[in-house]
Amino acid sequence: MWQLDTDHRAAHIGAALGYLGDDERAPTYRVGRAHYERTWRDGQWEGPEEDRPETPPDFLRAVCSCGWYARVLVEMHPDAASSRRRVPQGQDRARAFWLAHALAATSAALPDDAEQARARAMEWLRTLADSQPLAALALTRQLRADVDEIEQRAVRHARALEVPWEDIGAAVGTTRQQAWRKHKGLAPLDEKEARDVLRPTFLPSYQHDDGHPPYTVTDIDLTPLFD
């Protein structure tokens, strides 16, 4: 199972359900009176040994603890026969589908140090306004242009993550219609930009200039629960 390190409330824990052949449902196991769908992780079925499938899954579907299910199946074997829509590349591809969902779902959460950084910047600007008012006025003019640029950049990235206009409008304090009218002319991210937005950080080539990824994905081992 997977969790973004930025998801402090653990509201979006991801996993990959396994499917056998053309079966419409994932294999299940029972704990007490409850039934759970089996997930596939690191080459084995999760869950207790009883009734565990003897063969690997033919397809995977990314799911999230919030109730989200990927709309497509990921094909585990290139020669697997099925008429259903599927995408190759196995477990990493399934995790990439979940990652795109989790990034969009957690994109409204402010980093822990965001408010402190804003407060420090405002304190510095107030000091500048008191001591050098004309310099402060010139800087505020530039900051307005910078804020507009950041807003447009954020909107383009949000749309690449399929964040709905309603959520974008709420983030900037407007309605969905107002946000759409203001930003509908923005060009979508090109193929490379979109790929960078959605690139999982378990691919080491994606890093900030300081060598650190913008977020990390943690694998959560649930095996001890069933030992």
The pLDDT tens digits of the residues spanning 138-184 come to 999 999 999 999 999 999 988 887 788 999 999 999 999 999 999 99
Residue 148 lies in a domain: yes
65 burial level (CB within 10 Å; 0-12, 13-18, 19+):
middle
- The span from the CA of 97 to the CA of 162, in Å, is 12
Residue 166 lies in a domain: yes
Residue 3 lies in a domain: no
| CA-based torsion, 63, 69, 70, 74: positive or negative | positive
Residue 185's domain spans which residues? 114-190
Map tokens 């008012």 to a residue.
133
- The span from the CA of 20 to the CA of 54, in Å, is 11
Residue 37 lies in a domain: no
Mean pLDDT of 113-131: 93
Residue 145 lies in a domain: yes
Give 9-60 pLDDT, tens digit per residue.
Answer: 778 889 999 999 888 788 888 888 888 888 888 788 888 888 889 888 988 9
Name the range with the highest mean pLDDT among 40-44, 89-93, 133-137.
133-137
Residue 97 confidence (pLDDT): 84
> How many domains does the chain contain in total?
1
- The span from the CA of 34 to the CA of 220, in Å, is 22
Residue 135 lies in a domain: yes
Residue 222 confidence (pLDDT): 36
Instruction: Please report which residue ranges of 132-175 form alpha helices under DSSP H.
Output: 133-160, 165-172
Residue 170 lies in a domain: yes
Residue 196 confidence (pLDDT): 65
Asked whether residue 208 carries a pLDDT value surpassing 70, the answer given is no
Residue 121 lies in a domain: yes
